[in-house]
């Protein structure tokens, strides 16, 4: 199995034969989408939480009236993208949800 770059890795956005300056430029791109940025901000403001708790807080218009609305699956996808980019991480803790299933507690990296 070869180590292939992930879509958010700079090497993914450049070709093997590209000059080093292309790779440097790709590494400088750190822009987040508006929805990714919103998810990251909620995690930074409220601290570690599960995807379920993230959905509950994020989609509370009284708490966060200006955030772009996102579905539960959309929030999980944005959180996953942030993990891939190294901005959010698994705390190593798991909690039991009301459904009886266990869930990972996620946090924004400092």
The encoded tokens of residue 7 equal: 């879509």
Q: What is the pLDDT, as a whole number, of residue 53? A: 95
3-state per-residue secondary structure call for the chain: CCCCCCCCCHHHHCCCCCCHHHHHHHHHCCCCCHHHHHHHHHHHHHCCECHHHHHHHHCCCCCCCCCCCCCHHHHHHHHHHHHHCCCEEEEEEEEECCCCCEEEEEEECC
Q: How far apart are the first and last CA of the chain?
A: 32
pLDDT tens track for 38-82: 999 999 999 999 999 999 999 888 888 888 999 999 999 999 999
What CATH number matches the domain at 32-108, 3.30.70.1450, 1.10.10.10, 1.10.540.10, 1.10.287.3510? 1.10.10.10
In the chain, the percentage of residues whose pLDDT exceeds 70 is 73
pLDDT bucket at 7, cuts 50 / 70 / 90: very low
Check residue 40 and give its pLDDT: 93
Mean pLDDT of 19-29: 60
Q: pTM for the whole thing?
A: 0.71
Domain boundaries, the chain: 1-30, 32-108
Mean pLDDT of the chain: 83
């Amino acid at each position: 199995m070869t180590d292939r770059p992930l879509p958010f890795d700079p090497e993914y956005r450049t070709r093997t034969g590209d000059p080093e300056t292309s790779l440097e430029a790709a590494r400088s791109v750190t822009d987040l989408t508006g929805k990714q940025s919103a998810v990251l901000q909620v995690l930074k403001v409220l601290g570690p939480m599960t995807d379920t708790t993230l959905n509950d807080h994020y989609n509370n218009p009284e708490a966060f009236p200006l955030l772009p609305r996102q579905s539960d699956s959309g929030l999980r996808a944005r959180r996953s993208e942030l993990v891939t980019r190294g901005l959010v991480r698994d705390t190593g803790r798991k909690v039991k949800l009301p459904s009886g299933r266990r869930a990972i507690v996620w946090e924004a990296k400092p």
